[in-house]
Amino acid sequence: METTLRGVGVSHGVAIGEVRHMGTAVLEPPAKQIPAEDAEREQGRARQAVEAVAADLIARGNLAGGEAQHVLEAQAMMAQDPELMADVERRIAVGSSAERGVYDAFASYRALLANAGEYLAGRVADLDDVRNRIVARLLGVPMPGVPDSDEPYVLIARDLAPADTALLDPALVLGFVTEEGGPTSHSAILARALGVPAVVALPGAGELAEGTVIAVDGSTGEIFVEPSAEKRAEMETAAAARKAVLSASTGPGATSDGHKIPLLANVGGPGDVPAAVEAGAEGVGLFRTEFLFLDDSERAPSEEKQVAAYRAVLEAFPEGRVVVRVLDAGADKPLDFLTPADEPNPALGVRGLRTLLDHPDVLRTQLTALAKAAEGLPVHLEVMAPMVADRADAKAFADACREAGLGAKFGAMVEIPSAALRARSILREVEFLSLGTNDLAQYTFAADRQVGAVSRLQDPWQPALLDLVALSAQAAAAEGKSCGVCGEAASDPLLACVLTGLGVTSLSMGAASIPYVRATLAKYTLAQCERAASAARATDSAEEARMAAQAVLSGE
């Protein structure tokens, strides 16, 4: 009998197939005492396993490239954390086996994160995956991971670690469903980059029996268990129609009455550029530069290395707009040479621009490298600072740009509610705004973006978040400046129409979402988008906002 479940849709498309479950997690190793004379040998085994797992993660990242690469490199750094390794060796020295020492050391670190209020909860899944891989290697059992199958399937998991998501084969994995995670988790972002339909935050997903046929709608978040022939035909017809519309939609982003909304791509490095070009991106709305700094957590990359990486992206968009975010370190992206090790609350501490202003040499080198990378190119380079809180922050960044001789436009990201509330003041110092809706939602609702239990508060349809977007866009219009969105909100085609109606002037997203957004925008006039935006803001919940906007655009 057909039943319907609902999670959070995070990656567009429809997948119909049999359920396959993620490989079983490694069992807890026995807590047996080892003789003192074996301690040195066990410590050696632990070190070898850690290095092997780190090398495997880096190799997976090199294969995956793009956004996935810097995620996996960060995970490899986690495996090699010297404090964790020291804890492992201490436990072995007092009688633990290598596998038990690893298991207990990681459990202790995991508990520290949880007791800190789970501000780093998004990294807990990554930490668990690293632990499981090391313990599996030490026990000589198969690594946890996606199942072996010759036939396409829908993958079910409690959560997906980046190492698994990055190398999913779209020819075999039709889609995936997880019990945990949120719309801005690593798995969700990588799913969109792969173009794999995905639903997250679905409690009880693990109870779906192996081999059960399900239909997944990655747009609505609906899961149909044992769908009827009629439901399957309906979803397949809708998917085919959607594909035809996408194929027919080309050119710059615009509403049906010609109001231009440039559609830009979010990229995590040169590896993401080909997909962005193929999708018809009109430029880059968010060039994340952290990938360069994750190679070595102890020192910043040289100016020469930065110039080469930046130029590779700039050259791909002649005459296009490329918006570069300077290094956003801290919180869930710590760097040994920049980030305080003892912050009690890293997400609310020294991160983003705050970190760079504490280390002006790092900021100066990056800005100088960007200026040199753009020399002689017809690209429209723009540079923005993350985590701008007020006018003083904006002025400090603008002054640094001028001192570095940067001829590009410089702007501020709106990720903190104070920046949206005082956007006009900030715009007296910078030339544009870019809304990072992922962090803006996190800080507006005090809801960690990686914690599935508060996923409803991370929903970019929340009316309070739409109000902050509207405030920012109105301030930019009053100052005659631009205000784009580069958070994951822009990848939702219906929400893209609402953002346009709120006055946003450009939308940036993962490359796979660009055709969906382009085709949807082209169906409606600017006036329809404005009415949908007003209707959404007049509601009291994300679901009501979504339904109100849909009703307006469908003519109901």
The tokens of 233 are what? 């035909």
Residue carrying structure tokens 């026990």: 139
Q: Which residues contact 317 (CB under 8 A, 6 or more apart)?
A: 277, 281, 283, 284, 379
Separation CA 397–CA 377 (nearest Å): 24
Please give the single-letter amino acid code of residue 337: F
Measured in degrees and rounded to the nearest 5, phi and psi for residue 217 equal -110, 105
Identify whether the C-beta of residue 7 lies closer than 8 Å to the C-beta of residue 216. no
- Helical ranges in 453-511 per DSSP H: 463-479, 493-501
Q: Which residue out of 12, 186, 483, 497 is catalytically annotated? A: 186
To the query of whether residue 483 is one of the catalytic residues in this protein, the response is no
To the query of whether residue 380 is one of the catalytic residues in this protein, the response is no
Separation CA 242–CA 398 (nearest Å): 44
Cα torsion angle, 350, 353, 356, 357, sign: negative
The tokens of 314 are what? 């700039």
Please give the single-letter amino acid code of residue 235: M
Separation CA 40–CA 24 (nearest Å): 31
Q: In terms of Cα–Cα distance, which of 199, 232, 57 is closest to 134?
A: 57
Separation CA 36–CA 443 (nearest Å): 50
Identify whether the C-beta of residue 13 lies closer than 8 Å to the C-beta of residue 199. no
Question: What is the H or E stretch that residue 166 is in?
Answer: helix 162-166
Q: What angle do CA 19, 24, 27 make, to 5 degrees?
A: 165
Our measurement of the distance from residue 471's CA atom to the centroid of its chain's CA atoms, rounded to an integer in Å, reads 25
Task: Centre a 10 Å sphere on the Cβ of residue 357 and count the other Cβ atoms it contains.
Answer: 16
Q: Which residue out of 401, 486, 497, 529 is catalytically annotated? A: 486
Identify whether the C-beta of residue 428 lies closer than 8 Å to the C-beta of residue 159. no
Active site residues: 186, 486
